[in-house]
Amino acid sequence: MKSIDIKSPAKINLYLKVLAKNDDGYHDIDTSFQLIDLCDNISFQKTEKGITIKSNLSFLENEDNTILESAMSLLDLTHGKFGVDITIHKNIPIGAGLGGGSSNAASTIVALNKLWGLGLSHNKLVDIGLKIGADVPFFLHGNNAYGKGIGDLLRSRDSIEDKILLIDPKINNSSKKMFHMLDSWREKNKHSSKYKQNDFWDIFIEANKEIKEFYNIASSEYDLNLSGSGSCMFITYQTKKDIKEILKKIPSNWRFFFCKPLQYSPICYIK
C-alpha cells in the first residue's frame, strides 16, 4: 500500500459537564460524543524519508499542529525508517469545539500505522493519542460514545437520528483558555450555572455580546446547544421546515452547516 485517502470527521457534544481538575491540569468530564459528517480530507502518500504537510490553511504547514505531532510520534517508533507526504483540506472550523485537531491526529495515527505496516495495537495507538490531546482517544474509538475521565473512558452508544444545524460564529476559542476561565468563574459563582446542557455556556455568553444576543433570541424557540468549549452551537431537527425561522436569525457574518450524524468514523474502514 502506497497511499491512503481518508475523511476526518468532526464531533459535537450532546451534553458536557466539567468536573474536578486533576493534578496533571486536565479536568474530568461527563459527556456524550456524537460524530457528524462535516469532515476534513486527508491524503497520505508513502515516501522513503521525512514528513511534509501541504494544506489549504498555511498554519498546518508549520511545525505546531496535531498532524505533524502524530506523524512524528509514529516515525520515532521506526527510528526514521519511513516517510510520508500529507495533504489536508480543512473544512472543520478551527477553535470551534468540534475536535478537528484531535480528529486529524487520530486519522494520522491510524493511517500511518497501516501505511507503514507498524502493526501497533489499538491500546498502543490510544496511548500515543492521549499524549497529543484528550479527545484523540474518542476519535480513535471510531464510534459514538459516552465519555468520562478526561474523555478517555468511553462507552459506545447508538447515533442520534436527527439532522444537525451547526452554527459557526467564527470565533476561535482556545480550549485551554476556556477551561481556565471556567475555573475562575466557578470560584466567583460557586457553581451556580443555569445552563444544563454545557458547563461552558456561562463564560461563553458573558465573553461575547453577539453570542448573548443570539442566544436570547434563539433559545426561546429552539433547543440551542454548545459543542465542546465552543464556539460552534447546534440545533437538532428532522425537516428543513423545523429550522426555517432560526436560519433567518443567524447573523450574516456567521456560517452554518447542514450536517448528518454518523454511527462510525471513516477511520473504521481503514483495513
Residue 53 DSSP SS3: strand
> Residue 136: is it exposed, middle or buried by C-beta count within 10 angstroms (0-12/13-18/19+)?
buried
The answer to whether 59 touches 65, Cβ cutoff 8 Å, is yes
H runs (alpha helix) in 131-230: 136-141, 175-189, 201-207, 209-218
Catalytic residue from among 40, 90, 135, 168:
135
158 is catalytic: no
Nine-digit cell at 238?
A: 428532522
Using CA atoms, how far residue 146 sits from 33, 166, 187, 230, 250, in Å, is 6, 21, 28, 19, 30
135 carries an active-site annotation: yes
Q: Which of 7, 11, 90, 114 is catalytic?
A: 11
What residues have CB less than 8 Å from 115, skipping those under 6 apart? 1, 2, 3, 4, 44, 46, 84
Q: Residue 6 corresponds to which cell in the numbers above?
A: 481518508
Neighbours of 208 (CB within 10 A): 17
Q: By the 8 A CB rule, do 39 and 91 touch?
A: yes
Q: Over the Cα atoms of the chain, what is R_g?
A: 19
φ, ψ dihedrals at 52, nearest 5°: -125, 150
DSSP H helices, 38-121, are 66-77, 100-115
- Residue 49 · residue 79 · CB < 8 Å: no
Instruction: Show which residues are catalytic.
Output: 11, 135
